[in-house]
């Protein structure tokens, strides 16, 4: 669970900070930079499985050309920044497995991870510059500090005590930096998991990957837990063509970021050894009931073709007509995919979605909002199979979608100007909550309803208004 994010020097994010709850809706106009918040989160996730350069090239907007990597750095009239920093405070699962299948237990579950990336100019003309690791740290947050760090409304007894554990007593944390005798920055990996002795030291400037990105054994269980957490951060970009496809029997049985493997995922849920026949039927019924709030259907099921070894998702309309997923509309498929995700207790971590309202009629928008809210963990209860430890962050520019949100969950992406390093005026982004919400009460700058009139009133030039009914 990502509770706090800080970004400085990445794209248009300068001295940027935001607190997240179980469900967060970021609203803002097109091109304001909402997607850059997701890109910063995605960059951290990519670093867990890729080199620094590979992660940079996969972040949306930087393309596949290495000459574009400067686009990740904030730019002003004085040129590009030479470094950016991203920090994340997160709650991790205590029990994880390493790449060899061995179990490991983190000594702390509430962590602060910080990484600083620099740009190194080429030595010769025609040679591209490269990204270098300037700093990387991983520290623990104590149970006492968690009281102030977890700002969103939650149950201290049921939620916080269940997810925040700290057995670490060393002041060094898990990863720190130090300066070597030659002035170079070194990354220090401190002992964990019962090990003793001095930490391992590695030079930062020559590292192709981060320390977290190379932690794959149970020897460093807490670093491994941080890696596993960031690996679970998903960025859903549901594609109709992927959601419509049937699955082979041997296909991956977990939903992909584009919505692929929908039939296999649902089939895994209903055929799980933990479920009896009644429970399996209940999963089908629950998903069908949710979908019936959007379209007139009675049943959802997975058709098993033993001859072709295919799994096909089907729905049965109230008229009795059976339709394969390939015949459903884009919006219906998107809703159905999210409904399956809600039903999957193994789907955990951060789930980021841009414009989830696409393809949904305004009259049915409330059903989509409720579905997304149900996808997130309930912080008043203990996380578990019935309350999966999931977090949802959505970005939207839809007034109808915004009007249906709980005001406590809303953030408004606003452009603002500030003084840069050289005294120049630079444009950046701030995500501000509404007045009298938990973020505002924690001291964050907030906005009133007057600032967000564009989300509450008819757009300029509207030809049809509700007030016209009086004159008809």
pLDDT band, residue 313 (cuts 50/70/90) = very high
Whether 206 is in a domain gets the answer yes
pLDDT band, residue 163 (cuts 50/70/90) = very high
Ranking 218-227, 240-249, 412-421, 439-448 by mean pLDDT, the lowest is 412-421
Does the pLDDT of residue 126 top 70, yes or no? no
Q: What is the pLDDT of residue 198?
A: 67
Whether 48 is in a domain gets the answer yes
- Tens of pLDDT along 341-359? 999 999 999 999 999 999 8
**Helix or strand or coil: residue 117?**
strand
The CA-atom distances, in angstroms, between 389 and each of 148, 150, 295, 349, 468 are 21, 15, 29, 7, 47
Q: In sequence order, what are the residues at sequence separation of 6 or more whose Cβ sits closer than 8 angstroms to the Cβ of residue 147?
A: 156, 160
Does the pLDDT of residue 115 top 90, yes or no? yes
CB 128 within 8 A of CB 122: yes
How much of the chain, in percent, has pLDDT values that exceed 70?
Answer: 94
- Residue 444: how many CB atoms within 10 A of its CB? 18
**Full domain range(s) for residue 52:** 2-232
Whether 51 is in a domain gets the answer yes
Q: In sequence order, what are the residues at sequence separation of 6 or more whose Cβ sits closer than 8 angstroms to the Cβ of residue 456?
A: 399, 403, 449
Average pLDDT score over residue span 447-468: 85
Average pLDDT score over residue span 290-314: 95
Whether 238 is in a domain gets the answer no
In residues, how long is the chain?
472
**Helix or strand or coil: residue 471?**
helix
The CA-atom distances, in angstroms, between 315 and each of 248, 357, 455 are 19, 22, 35
Whether 407 is in a domain gets the answer no
Give me the residues paired with residue 87 across strands: 6, 114
**Which among 312, 366, 304 has a CA at the least distance from the CA of 335?**
366
Residue with tokens 């039927």, as numbered in its chain? 281
Q: What is the pLDDT of residue 64?
A: 47
Does the pLDDT of residue 369 top 50, yes or no? yes
Whether 302 is in a domain gets the answer no
Indicate the helix (H) or strand (E) that contains 283: helix 277-292
Q: Distance between CA 234 and CA 119 in Å, rounded?
A: 27
Q: What is the pLDDT of residue 196?
A: 60
Q: Distance between CA 352 and CA 230 in Å, rounded?
A: 13
Average pLDDT score over residue span 392-396: 98
pLDDT band, residue 55 (cuts 50/70/90) = very high
Average pLDDT score over residue span 271-291: 85
Q: Distance between CA 453 and CA 392 in Å, rounded?
A: 25
Q: What is the pLDDT of residue 460?
A: 83
Average pLDDT score over residue span 198-220: 90
Give me the residues paired with residue 177 across strands: 187
Chain centroid to Cα 373, Å, comes to 14
Does the pLDDT of residue 43 top 90, yes or no? yes
Whether 365 is in a domain gets the answer no
Q: What is the pLDDT of residue 121?
A: 84
Q: Distance between CA 6 and CA 16 in Å, rounded?
A: 6
Whether 411 is in a domain gets the answer no
**Which among 304, 233, 309, 219 has a CA at the least distance from the CA of 270?**
304
Beta strands in 219-309 (DSSP E): 234-236, 247-248, 297-305
Total domains in the chain come to 1
């Amino acid at each position: 669970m990502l509770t706090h994010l800080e970004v400085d020097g990445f794209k248009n994010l300068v001295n940027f900070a935001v607190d997240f709850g179980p469900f967060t809706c970021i609203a803002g106009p097109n091109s304001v930079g909402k997607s850059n918040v997701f890109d910063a989160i995605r960059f951290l996730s990519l670093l867990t499985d890729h080199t620094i350069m590979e992660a940079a090239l996969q972040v949306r907007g930087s393309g596949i050309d290495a000459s574009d990597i400067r686009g990740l750095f904030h730019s002003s009239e004085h040129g590009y920044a030479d470094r950016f920093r991203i920090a994340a405070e997160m709650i991790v699962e205590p029990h994880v497995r390493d790449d060899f299948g061995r179990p490991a237990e983190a000594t702390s579950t509430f962590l602060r991870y910080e990484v600083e990336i620099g740009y190194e100019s080429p030595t010769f003309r025609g040679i591209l510059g490269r990204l270098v690791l300037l700093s990387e740290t991983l520290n623990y947050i104590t149970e006492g500090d968690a009281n102030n760090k977890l700002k969103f409304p939650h149950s201290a007894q049921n939620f916080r005590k269940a997810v925040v554990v700290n057995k670490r007593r060393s002041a060094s944390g898990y990863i720190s930096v130090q300066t070597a005798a030659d002035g170079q920055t070194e990354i220090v990996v401190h002992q964990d998991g019962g090990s003793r002795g001095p930490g391992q030291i590695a030079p930062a400037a020559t590292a192709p990957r981060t320390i977290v990105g190379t932690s794959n054994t149970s020897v460093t269980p807490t670093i491994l837990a941080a890696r596993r957490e960031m690996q679970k951060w998903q960025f859903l970009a549901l594609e109709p063509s992927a959601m419509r496809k049937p699955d082979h029997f041997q296909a991956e049985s977990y939903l992909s970021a584009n919505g692929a493997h929908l039939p296999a995922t649902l089939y895994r849920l209903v055929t799980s050894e933990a479920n009896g026949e009644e429970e399996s039927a209940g999963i089908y019924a629950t998903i069908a009931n949710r979908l019936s709030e959007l379209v007139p259907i009675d049943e959802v099921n997975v058709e098993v073709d033993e001859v072709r070894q295919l799994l096909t998702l089907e729905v049965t309309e109230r008229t009795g007509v059976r339709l394969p997923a390939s015949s459903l509309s884009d919006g219906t498929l998107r809703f159905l995919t999210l409904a399956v995700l809600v039903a999957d207790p193994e789907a955990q971590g951060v789930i980021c979605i841009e414009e989830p309202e696409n393809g949904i009629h305004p009259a049915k928008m409330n059903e989509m909002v409720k579905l997304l809210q149900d996808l997130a963990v309930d912080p008043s209860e203990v996380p578990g199979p019935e309350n999966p430890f999931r977090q949802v962050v959505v970005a939207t520019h839809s007034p109808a979608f915004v009007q249906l949100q709980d005001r406590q969950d809303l953030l408004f992406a606003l452009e603002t100007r500030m003084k840069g390093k050289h005294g120049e005026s630079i444009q950046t982004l701030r995500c501000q909550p509404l007045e009298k919400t938990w973020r505002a009460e924690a001291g964050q700058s907030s906005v009133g309803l007057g600032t967000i009139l564009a989300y509450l009133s008819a757009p300029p030039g509207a030809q049809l208004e509700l007030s016209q009914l009086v004159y008809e």
